[in-house]
Amino acid sequence: MYIPTGLEMEPLYANSKEETVVYLAEDAYKEPCFVYSRVGGNRTPLKQPVDNCDDTLMFEARFESGNLQKVVKVAEYEYQLTVRPDLFTNKHTQWYYFQVTNTQAGIVYRFTIINFTKPASLYNRGMRPLFYSEKEASAHNIGWQRIGDQIKYYRNNQGQDRHHHFSLTWTFQFPHSKDTCYFAHCYPYTYTNLQEYLSGINNDPVRSKFCKIRVLCHTIARNMVYILTITTPLKNSESRKRKAVILTARVHPGETNSSWIMKGFLDYILGNSSDAKLLRDTFVFKVVPMLNPDGVIVGNYRCSLAGRDLNRNYTSLLKESFPSVWYTRNMIRRLMEKREVILYCDLHGHSKKENIFMYGCDGSDRCKALYLQQRIFPLMLSKNCPDKFSFSSCKFNIQKSKEGTGRVVMWKMGIRNSFTMEATFCGSTLGNKRGTHFNTKDLESMGYHFCDSLLDYCDPDRTKYYQCLKELEEMEKHINLEKVIDDSDTSLKEITLDLETSSHASDSSESNDSQADLLKLNPQIKAKKIQLKTKKERNSTIARHQNIREEEQEVCDKGHLVQRHKESVSDVTGNVLLLPSDK
């Protein structure tokens, strides 16, 4: 992480007719970027930069997922950059990804992007830009790395009509001369990357047997939206008994970290471990790995080619305008007619908070048993991944502005465990990962932890389930509103588990640390992670765990816990699948 010194410069630039423009993309709507993808990419060479001076850096962003609109050379080694807003909008300037060539080693360059619109940024909390060098990759096998000094995010003088703009500035020395380098907001993951990954599955004689890849629909630009069905092949009568789990990602194209989590999930669930096989034997997984390929291809941050946020349009009837979310909702509705869906999770990135966390759903008429039950899976995930996943950041209320999101629409359709998983663009504040950026391996590992927690949630030995339920009840007992927020009469449920304020960081909004205070007030409720076991190992320990559970329940008033569980048996246990015994 970058540690600010307080001495960072805040470059402010005045528009000048004599400015030296070294890169200028054509107006977005004139760019030939709406054509569908094809193997091998564009067969015509890219246009050359405006300025080709010997000592001037050369910029390019006219490639898949690239985003850069204009570059001005303001000093010998200083450049002012403007990123392109999402197509057919004048906002959503967050994602950048561009190439730099004609570099000189040992020179301190300054780069300043001047047209961000969000007033707060993780760049002021230690986040660094990402950098890739082709020479470093070739010589030392070094990929994307966090770089930069003198990093600062600040309000500038570029805004108009009370619409403020903000700048990100940093300095950097290139490791090699005459190198080809790239800068990016987050680890790129393109539509081509996805297609190559899916092609590898199709060509694998083992994985292709239990992973069927189909085209869910075509986008406005006629790109294919893929859907994967992952389960062990069985006869129709047996397969219908399996419950379903749904995962989607990349509805916001600039949230590339969601694709890395999705890749980690697919790597694990398609692997040859006994637990991966157990999951495939138990569930039917429906996976849409990239909901917005058009936005990904053209380098948008949030919108599709309709100029709209798809994750606000799951209720829309406009199939032609929002095909991927329309067909996803329709697929899930038809799936629910055939089998129970026990969990839906939409993967996102978050631009204002650290760590990884979840947003869920609570209705206005919720009962205590229901809102505790929905929090069990995120709590399990926090125990399985304590250095990355923050349960204290999880929120569960529904704002009116979020009613068109995937998690809310699926919850209203009847999926109780309906979540958005949010992954920071920065890093962790937890455990051994505290103060470090997440890399792609960290993000991919969340796919494994998701599967680990799913097995815990559906374990026929209910020790972990009751343990989490007990913890949630302890949180409720030991918190006092006056200890968390002064002069507040907010209900316990709202302050401990639901607080959420308006924001556009991702699917849901900014939140506070009220739930962290809960965990601090009673540290004894934190439970140690129980080692994940295969089905055979789990079944062999049921008797031993049963004895332990009986002793614990006697201490914490077993009758009260069981009674509460019975009152909501149709809700609490309805979503819990008991794993089949050994054959």
Q: Which residues belong to the active site?
A: 422
| Token output for 35 | 């054509």
444 SS3 class: helix
CB neighbours of residue 368 within 10 Å: 15
Angle (CA) 57 62 64, round 5°: 125
In the Cβ-directed half-sphere of 537, how many Cα atoms lie within 13 Å?
10
CA distance 577 to 568: 16
| Token output for 126 | 């230690």
Within 133-273, residue ranges assigned H as helices are 134-140, 191-202, 207-210, 236-239, 257-269
Query: 30: closest CA among 71, 65, 69, 60?
Result: 69
Q: Which residues of 521-550 are buried (b: 16+ CB within 10 A; e: fewer)?
A: eeeebeeeebebbebeebbeeeeebeeebe
Q: Which residues lie across from 110 on neighbouring strands?
A: 78, 171
105 SS3 class: strand
- Per-residue CA distances from 175 to 71, 214, 274, 363, 396 (Å): 22, 44, 45, 54, 46
Those residues whose C-beta lies under 8 Å from the C-beta of residue 385, and which sit 6 or more positions away, are 356, 445, 446, 449
Angle (CA) 514 444 402, round 5°: 45
Tokens 């709507």 belong to 29
What φ, ψ does residue 228 adopt, rounded to 5°? -110, 135
